[in-house]
Structure 1
Amino acid sequence: MNIISLGFIASGLAAPTDGLDLFKLKVSSPVKNINDRYLSSNASAIGVYDIDDTAAIRVYQTSSKKAGCSQLHIYPVGIVDHALALVGSNGLMTLTDMVKPSGTKPADGLVMEWDTFRVSGGKLTNDGQGRWVAFPGAKDSWGVKWTDGSVFMTANYMPVEIVMEAAGKGRYNSE
């Protein structure tokens, strides 16, 4: 009787032969103190934080079941999947690091979209009408949200664009 290592079987089935194309997400804005800064994570909220740009999140793109849309998974690949998601209600959704997005159900009254991102001309948008906006926070931080334009917002937000910038190649379970 031959015994084969389960780790060998799992690594052979899960690991692709090609590397993943990785991207960093950079803010484009006419506001000098947010322009050309990279998105990073603060707990589960994705935004611009007063930290070194080496902490920028890196993502890789996979296909969505929704035509023309993508999912953006956070790298490095771990045992538990992390992906970017938009979570909110009433026309304003926060860009979030969602743990196990395919198995997560939104709380009552909330909308959760994690497979509706579109990339065109190197810029990231969401499926449907709307735009990215950034709200100032403490210590030179900015929260990034998606709005469909139907919600009333305070006047302190800035319209921004999110640019997907190539960040090299990655592999499953290794740097």
Structure 2
Amino acid sequence: MGGLASKEKSESDAGAITEALLLPQDILLSAGVHIGTKIKTRDMEPFIYKVRGDGLFVLDIKKIDERIRVAAKFLSRFEPPKVAATAVRLYAREPVSKFCEVTGATPVIGRFIPGLLLNPLYPGRIEPDVVLVSDPRADAQAIREATKIGIPVVALCSTDNDFTNVDLVIPTNNKGR
């Protein structure tokens, strides 16, 4: 029975972590998932832990972990090829490609061609059941099209993003290299 339960208990007893995170906290921090921008939107306020001395907003690691779990549970309800993952930003392209390679999701890397979801005459048209975007601002075309046809949108959001037409938010650093 050991496994995760005993790990949670031993870490809790040591006073280091009260709840087990999906990944060790030091790995999350070294990856910089908690680093936001110097801008915050009202939508992102619940996910902000503090403001650093240099003005950067810092995201709450526990809330990031919680939202990743919720998103994973939500996305697991869909067949992998019916999940479209988009990456317009240069630094999102490799992670989204890797995500799609590992999960079997459909990658949309680079420019999101208008009509990719909406135009039945477009030969490269895709028909996903859910869209995962790496940045709501950069992937706005994907969000617009998904919204028009009622497809849920899951978005990786930094402190400067708003939630317009996003159904599920995963707070994280979506600007990092």
Range into which the TM-score falls when normalised by the shorter chain: under 0.3
More strand by share: 1
More helix by share: 2
- The TM-score with structure 2 as length reference comes to 0.26
Q: Greater relative contact order (Cα 8 A, min sep 6): structure 1 or 2?
A: 1
